Structure 1
């Protein structure tokens, strides 16, 4: 029987492993190819439909928000209710002009419910009255959008049609205007259809996938070809487009259940699947039809398989050469040395501090490990229950800014508590080294040799080679950058970037907390809203840079007169809101009057004196936030109508305390 030496046996094993690995991978990849193609295509289709939905959401959300704010503007509601009064029309026109520039296509419209007159305002001189463009009629099919909106339970709807007054196709956002006694009209804007299609659909169109925009009833609103005459080719509904009973039933169920994303299977000659994604804040959906090979084909895997086989061969060859040079050669020398010296194998031969071949082998293996992990951007370490640092890579040492490995080992052994920023963390880590858990993940603060504190995440688990050898292996991830980034995100999400004040979202959260605290423990709670008078003139006269300086200076002046417990936020534009805990409406009036006088006498370096109008209200018992805010906002509106530079206090729960105070 032929005998093989270690090197020959190693070569045989390497070749066998290579052949078996390639064979197994080819079989597995062959069986998985179709499944991967299907799964990856579905994933891409979801992303594809979701991306288009997100683009449309982004395009529409701003226009919807502006239209809703228009519909809630008191001066516009006042004019719609009193259409024939020129003075109210001119006041409304001033507000309208400020909104037209903000709308994407400047295509604002207003319909009066009482007269059914429709107006299409443009950016015109404030002294020129709005002109009637036409009259809406129930008997005209093209005007059905108005009656659908005015009779709907929703605040707004979106439709696509050809306006008979403008003679053009547009995407229309229709918002119901609510008066004191019910709906008084409809207001909104229109987006140019060709631009909307090119920006949101055609730019995302794939040659092998077909995308439609449908509503909740399955009616086609838009498609990727920008063809609008759907009835001409019989596809006014998506259910006619596919004409498959099982698919149509599943699609209807999906639309009724309002799932945000779903994949439906199709069984016809044209398509295999449909990806459906809802468009937020609308009753529209993006539906993309595709085949298995649209986004990802099995051919893509062939190159991957070839590259994988080549990589396996190359890796095994490199490993073969590497191990022969690093391991087998010193190992053969070690065997020769042992045979010559007739030394028994014992555990003492495996120490890295030995000067013979086993010591060299141990050191060589450790050096090899160091080279392999030196580029890994995480700290690797081995430690026993007595805080003996058995091994640590360069990244672990550098995270503590230690001079060298020996200095770090010494600190871990003699004064390990100095490594931890908090004594509690040291005790937690110490207890973990006695638990023998498979895996423990903890996050705590550590101290560098320079004294700097940083956040780190440790993943540590127990290892036991035999009854006499056990230790813990772990990794250390420096998470300080993540903590700093999270802190930055929290700050950006809660503050206004210009003034440094809280933003509207954070202010609303704090108001709700204060309302709950007031209802639980009692005590008054008041709110103040103020708006800089004629601020648009400052921007128009001196420019937006000076306007921004005025906003920043106003914020500073307001904070000077407020208490530390008061909460101030920039509500939007030149409007600010202040929450006054533990303050009655009288106290709110005093604070508002103090700030009003401060602004009235403060001279800005360029803009001069910029006054403000104020609204103040104390929260009533059992009054919700929206009702309370509406009263404060109405008080501000009254201040503006009273000549501006005025404080108006809304009624609170005590009629004898405050009716309307003004200066």
Structure 2
């Protein structure tokens, strides 16, 4: 009875499939053509995306950006060119260009065996149509754009990638690269060539730029005198194709009337007005075999072998796979367990050994710590990366050390308490960022992810991932330091004072501690820059900051207020003491010989905060005292005793 039901079902299904086979074949053929066309676009897009990614990364390089803000600075220029040479070495055509917004100067760069070749291209002019690409790039909203040109002299097609360089909402210029795509397209077309199908690349007007049937040499001589509309006299195809090109969105397939091709698949190329068009016959990319033969053979096999196959599958496969499944669950809970079937010599044994090796290889080689804990928090397994973080070679070595000095795993008691709470309360999952200690008491920061997973042996266990984030912590602290300090002198900047020091002053105000502020400004500093250059001026600023450090306490806050103006916040210090410190700094500056600029004096204003005086009023009094010192002849200290 079962065999009859199976036979009738298969027969009815076969008849239905026969009726629908034509439609299915056409639909599958269309899907294959679209997939085929998308692969062409994807391969080409991967080349272009790689170049875009490198160009965008270069546009954010600190050395390059720093030079573009300070074009005349030779030291910054040298550092930027060194970074640019590194960028050129990884670009596909090893070339690039950079245009500076300040001077409108543009440069072309090429990486060669003897170093980086740099050629100045002249000054960009908005009135010059050849320079329109630059001004269009800056005006457009996207961070980058592309333009494509065909060089009739060199017979090459090139994609130009233009990336805006911006900082703090201000345009600094454009960095980009040129990608010659003729040979790339030839390789892609060769890779996906099919009989009964051909591909072309067309522009927004339907003109054929590249033809997969042409050789690479023929591309070099190709003129834009062929269009995709020549492939069909069908007006409906022409209308639909023009509609697509006018408003290209998602890929599409259009039916056409042609001696060799019945369909055309369209897909846009990333951020350009180019499109890949694939012409194909119905069975070119998907060739179905004889359906009658398939149905007949299928019916015969089902009728003769259905029962036999069922018994064989039950005996040979079902039972072993059930055992394999159970052993995999055991291995999930205890990584050092072997799975079922490793000793078998048949195909199942080969499969079991492959699974065993694959899981071991993955767990052993990943660059993150993987570990398992039992319901009591004891280590069941730790991969080599996990053990190495704690300077241990084996699980037993880790367990012995951890049992003796469990608390010493964590630098902070609260982190240990959190992990113990997870285990004690059987929480489903948790994430902890903690400072850990190795067996040699070396500290490192790590992210710990714990997830509760059920198993048949113990009810549940915890799967854990440990990621060493020490480098991340270092960079975070480095960024904090960079945001708070002046890069040239190393003292605090005004932003840090306004964000951090104000809070300190509020606390001192509540406790009644006196605070005195010293403002001072280097005399005639502009002359130093004008006569000796900015390098000499920077040297004066650095030396001044060093002298102030020598004359103040560690608890005092030194900041560069701006330009050649400095300030010193003296905490728990009265006005008289503040005047003494200011005079000491003044005398040292007046007797200090800078290697290039010589003696550079300074004028000082000293002011003590009165009770709950507003900060703006306090700073204004200090600035006024500084102004009086300058008006009185400079190189002196004026104390505001109001």
Report the TM-score when normalising by structure 1: 0.48
Report the TM-score when normalising by structure 2: 0.49
